[in-house]
């Protein structure tokens, strides 16, 4: 019975690593930041929601993400590379500007 289980696990592993399996990108600060930015852009209605296929505005969620990025900036001060810090600052500036524009509508 133990050998059968090992063979089944081996087959599943081989099947999951087939040619159609999507390549997972390396986790970097930039990729993490990009994911949060995309989520904020969806919440701001600037990008289509991939699930609903609609551009819905959820300013509460957008504010939460922007505030989270602001907290991340504060907590990582002096611990990011120059490029990471500049990227975070640029994302925050862009999202805050978009948020203020949406609030005025």
Supply the angle between the helices 59-75 and 82-103 in degrees, to the nearest 10. Answer: 150
Q: What is the pTM of this model?
A: 0.76
pLDDT digits (tens, 9 = 90+) for 62-101: 999 999 999 999 999 999 999 999 999 999 999 999 999 9
**Three-state SS at 104:** coil
Residue 62: what pLDDT? 98
Residues 6+ apart with CB under 8 A from 47: 38, 41, 55
Residue 24: what pLDDT? 84
pLDDT digits (tens, 9 = 90+) for 19-63: 666 788 889 999 999 999 999 999 999 999 999 999 999 999 999
Counting Cα atoms < 13 Å in the Cβ hemisphere of 72 gives 19
Place of tokens 């500007």: 97
User: Among 87, 92, 98, 86, which Cα is nearest to 69's?
Assistant: 92
- What tokens were used for 22? 């999507």
């Amino acid at each position: 019975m133990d050998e059968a289980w090992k063979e089944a696990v081996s087959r599943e592993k081989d099947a999951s690593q087939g040619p159609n399996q999507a390549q997972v990108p390396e986790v970097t600060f930039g990729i993490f930041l990009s994911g949060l930015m995309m989520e904020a852009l969806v919440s701001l209605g600037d990008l289509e929601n991939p699930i609903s296929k609609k551009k819905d505005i959820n300013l509460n969620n957008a504010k939460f993400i922007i505030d989270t990025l602001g907290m991340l900036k504060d907590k990582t001060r002096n611990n990011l590379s120059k490029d990471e810090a500049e990227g975070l600052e640029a994302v925050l500036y862009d999202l805050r500007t978009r948020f203020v524009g949406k609030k005025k509508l």
